[in-house]
Structure 1
Amino acid sequence: MSRGPEPSMEVSFVGKRALVTGAGKGIGRHTALALARRGAKVTAVTRTQADLDSLLQECASITPVCVDLADWGATAAALQAVGPVDLLVNNAGCASLQPLLEVTPDQFDQSFNVNVRAVLHVSQIVARGMKARGSGGSIVNVSSQASQCALRDHAVYCATKGALDMLTRVMALELGPLQIRVNSVNPTVVMTDMGRLAWSDPHKSNTMLARIPLGRFAGETREA
């Protein structure tokens, strides 16, 4: 008995409106492009205009928003006119690495403002709209394995990602009854610009690589 063709694994986002933060580089940029190429109407948020300009050259259908998410007032003003959002990807993040005994208040505040507080704020803005429309939606927070594993010189970064994981759980609990799904993804090292900053030194990276069966970080290619 013959079987029909296998169903396509290609996911379509036609008719969906997506907002991606930290969309200028790395994971956020690739996420914004992937969503747009699968039919979503994408709004890309980043603080660097040059990154938005190059992103639009790659995909002209993306709507750009340039704002520093660490600035609460500027963020509220910038996102006010974005309109309805069905899918939010909270990807924006920063990593300022230093030994525990050298952490400064400014470094601490900047990391928590971007990695945790901005996620809360943008999620509030988007989820209020989802609630008002009664149509539900989805929020994905980009966390890290650093929320689960202590890493040298990553005291503040690890703390922000641990906080983000717990924030995600509370968001899921409170927003679930509104048909708003909330999840986190927790990748290991990804060789974005930020990843290279922390893990390009073989002295640091070899121990981590030894625990990865493929022997390479995500986003990194190795010749066979």
Structure 2
Amino acid sequence: MIELPKTPSFSLPGKKALVAGASSGIGFACASALAEAGAHVVLGARRVEKLEQIVAAMSEQGWSAEALQLDIADVEATAATVSANGPFDILVNSAGLARHSSAVETSPEDFDAVMEVNLRGAYFLAQAVAKELISNERPGSLITISSQMGHVGGVDRAVYCASKFAVEGFTKAMALEWGSSQIRVNTVCPTFIRTPFTEATFDNPERVKWVEEKIKLGRTGTVEDIMGAVLYLASDASSLVTGTAMMVDGGWTAD
């Protein structure tokens, strides 16, 4: 009698997840994916009113969710919030900021604003969630929504690229440090995804043409393209995956 292997579960019942930047776009989609899979999802963002509307919609589906005001740029407040509401088995950090300009025109103010959220905020949010997991001796999965621009350059995106390259670096280092605690740390790296965050890019026909030529599958992305990747990394299906970047870029970085 041949014993067939069993596919690891993608289900998340009994798990508690924090999704930062959950009020729209990729974060909203990720929160929905985790909640549909059975996790209790805490949706964090600065706009609590929007979060409460999302939570109400999720509740109508029979999903478990709650809203939490969260501004990851405020490192001290974020650490206190995580401590008071954790531990979280899953973190998805989709909070991000972009201020695009040519490198010679980058202002210190724009540089600092992007780094405050994309790098500093992301770093200390991951730290806060990991601290709670370690002190409670619980395993976990920490996922940062990075970008293909954490692996390649982009015109008018020097600051954004710098912030995302840095995210990829600390992800690998944290994965090494926290592996013995069974805390996995990974990134998801999307190509251009149609969200309110990227409207300015998609309003420029020349830029859209350039983007579509770079994506080998010939189309830009939707938030649904990210949901499966995040669910995989959050679940036991990826139990041996850490310190890596999952590219959801249609082949952009394959060159």
TM > 0.5: yes
Asked if 1:36 corresponds to 2:35, the answer is: yes
Please tell me whether the aligned partners of residues 70 and 110 of structure 1 are also in contact (alpha carbons under 8 angstroms).
no
Deviation, 1:96, is 1.1
RMSD: 2.1
**TM superposition outliers: structure 1 runs of 4+ over 4 Å:** 7-10
Deviation, 1:73, is 2.5
Deviation, 1:8, is 8.2
Asked if 1:26 corresponds to 2:25, the answer is: yes
Say which is worse superposed, 75-84 or 164-173, in terms of deviation: 75-84
Q: Equivalent residue for 2:114?
A: 111
Q: TM-score if structure 2 supplies the norm length? A: 0.79
Asked if 1:209 corresponds to 2:208, the answer is: no
Please tell me whether the aligned partners of residues 52 and 66 of structure 2 are also in contact (alpha carbons under 8 angstroms).
no
User: What letter matches 2:151 in structure 1?
Assistant: Q
Q: Equivalent residue for 1:219?
A: 222
| Corresponding residue pairs, total | 216
Change in CA separation of 1:8 and 1:124 when aligned onto 2, cut-off 3 Å: closer
C-alpha separation in 2, matches of 1:97 and 1:9 = 41
User: What letter matches 1:179 in structure 2?
Assistant: Q
Q: Equivalent residue for 1:157?
A: 160
Change in CA separation of 1:134 and 1:8 when aligned onto 2, cut-off 3 Å: closer
Q: TM-score if structure 1 supplies the norm length? A: 0.89
Identity %: 38
Please tell me whether the aligned partners of residues 29 and 223 of structure 2 are also in contact (alpha carbons under 8 angstroms).
no
User: What letter matches 2:87 in structure 1?
Assistant: P
Deviation, 1:31, is 0.6
Gaps of 5+ in 1: none
Gaps of 5+ in 2: 225-255
SS of corresponding position for 2:73: coil
Match for 2:100 among 97, 101, 105? 97
Asked if 1:186 corresponds to 2:201, the answer is: no
* CA offsets 1:139-184 (integer angstroms, 9 cap, x no match): 1111101112211111110110000000111111111111111111
C-alpha separation in 1, matches of 2:111 and 2:9 = 41
